[in-house]
Amino acid sequence: MAAEAIFDEIFTVDKMDPDGKKFDKVSRIEASVEQSAIKMQLDVNTEIYRIGVNDKFTMMLASTLSSDGTPDTGYFTQGGRKTLADKYEYVMHGKLYKITDGAPGTIVYVFILIYLCTNAYCAH
């Protein structure tokens, strides 16, 4: 069984540090998906991943890092095995701690270390 993406879109960086630079090695980006209502704020370690205004990147959310779809055990060990992380240059791994939604077709907010908002996306 292959790992299934919960969310997978290409974003364009619209702004860097819109409220001013708070940390030396981290920038907050505001990004959007072209021809869509999807917007995102994301904190990025710019010391290890250089990104700037007008750069494009893929954002993928998955329920597991396992390429075969095996559920996560609660912790990550590299162990030489291939994972979804091998397909990307910059990876953040964690748990969703809050999902707020309304009626079908309304805005869904997902809180991780990012703020991702769209009126077309509903998490199930």
Within a domain: residue 104? yes
pTM: 0.71
Q: Structural domain of residue 101, as residue ranges?
A: 5-118
Within a domain: residue 50? yes
Question: In the prediction, which pLDDT does 21 show?
Answer: 92
The C-alpha atoms of residue 59 and residue 41 are separated, in whole angstroms, by 12
Question: In the prediction, which pLDDT does 124 show?
Answer: 36
Of the CA atoms within 13 Å of residue 86, those in its CB half-sphere come to: 8
Q: Which residues of the chain have pLDDT under 70?
A: 1-3, 74-78, 94-124
Assign residue 66 the CATH number of its domain.
2.40.50.140
Question: In the prediction, which pLDDT does 67 show?
Answer: 81
Instruction: Report the number of distinct structural domains present in the chain.
Output: 1
Within a domain: residue 103? yes
Within a domain: residue 124? no
Question: In the prediction, which pLDDT does 123 show?
Answer: 41
Within a domain: residue 123? no
Within a domain: residue 16? yes
Please provide the size of the chain in residues: 124
Quick one: which of 40, 10, 12 has its CA closest to 28? 40
Within a domain: residue 67? yes
Within a domain: residue 30? yes
Question: In the prediction, which pLDDT does 87 show?
Answer: 86
